[in-house]
Amino acid sequence: MRNITKLLESRIELSDSEIHIFLLQLDLFDCSQLITYLSEDEVVRAEQLKVEEKKKQFIIVRGVCRKLLSHALNIDAKEIKIYYGEHKKPYIEEKYNNKSVEFNISHSGNYALVALTLYNKVGVDIEKINHKIDYQSLSKRFFSEKENEELLCLTNDEQLDAFYRAWTRKESFIKATGKGIAFGLDRFSVSLEDNIKCQVDIDSSKLINEQWYCYNVMNVENYKMALASCKNNIDIIIHQ
């Protein structure tokens, strides 16, 4: 992992042809510093969280995200206005070189992801693998028929890994579109194969007009993560 001070001082040049992904190892961060970057509303929300782990996750992920945005936009971190769409997707109205700044966050266990880009809808998801999860029941409930058929073709040893690969891809797509889980996870399909990029197969073009793609992000033991974008050829720059 990168030096924390260097990470928080990262000044990146945003581009609509690149997506910057920051992998955060949460136990390396100091909440007392990061909470100073939060808005007053976020500080109140953090204090209302009773589970200490959830509170730390909230402070670290939002604090780092605000600090990175502040460097890109040259605005004080706590002064950045973050709004939420109908299905809770966060967004900001400030522009970078007259283009909209897109970002997304996800956290699970001891890791989190922050994605930053320009003029490009983006979603990320990270999940800590639970080896005791009843993934077969979940896949029957939330996966498309095509995905379930693909899952059943795999050996028992391969299925858990493939389940989480598909789940993170589906979650990242839902988050990128901003439509939320109510859109229906079974109304589109992703590949369960361990390929760098896969196309999202949507049941009807009436649901979403753009073509979407899911990308593998990186490998961390006992975690799966994915990124979704409506751009076919995009450079993904990893910061960790």
Measured CA to CA, the distance from residue 23 to residue 21 in angstroms comes to 7
Q: Tokens 């007009």 — which residue? A: 209
The reported pLDDT for the residue numbered 233 is: 86
The reported pLDDT for the residue numbered 205 is: 58
Domain count across the chain: 2
Give the pLDDT means over successive 10-residue stretches in the chain (240 positions): 69 90 94 95 95 94 95 91 89 90 96 95 96 96 96 95 97 92 89 94 71 92 96 90
- 10, part of any domain: no
Domain-terminating residue out of 122, 152, 167: 122
Residues 105 and 162 in one domain: no
- 92, part of any domain: yes
- 197, part of any domain: yes
Measured CA to CA, the distance from residue 222 to residue 151 in angstroms comes to 19
Domain-terminating residue out of 105, 122, 139: 122
- List, in order, residues 6 or more apart from 100 with CB less than 8 Å away: 118, 119
The reported pLDDT for the residue numbered 210 is: 80
Nearest to 240 by CA among 121, 93, 126: 126
Residues 65 and 144 in one domain: no
Residues 113 and 149 in one domain: no
The reported pLDDT for the residue numbered 67 is: 94
The reported pLDDT for the residue numbered 114 is: 96
Domain that holds residue 155: 125-231
Residues 114 and 147 in one domain: no
The reported pLDDT for the residue numbered 6 is: 74
The reported pLDDT for the residue numbered 203 is: 79
Residue 129 burial by Cβ neighbours in a 10 Å radius (0-12, 13-18, 19+): middle
CB 126 within 8 A of CB 112: yes
Residues 141 and 95 in one domain: no
The reported pLDDT for the residue numbered 12 is: 83
- 240, part of any domain: no
The reported pLDDT for the residue numbered 206 is: 54
User: What pTM value is reported for the model?
Assistant: 0.93
Residues 135 and 221 in one domain: yes
The reported pLDDT for the residue numbered 68 is: 93
Rg (Cα) of the chain, in Å, rounded?
Answer: 18
Domain-terminating residue out of 82, 100, 122: 122
- 173, part of any domain: yes
- List, in order, residues 6 or more apart from 21 with CB less than 8 Å away: 113, 114, 115, 124, 217, 218, 227, 236, 237, 238, 239
What CATH number does residue 179 fall under?
Answer: 3.90.470.20
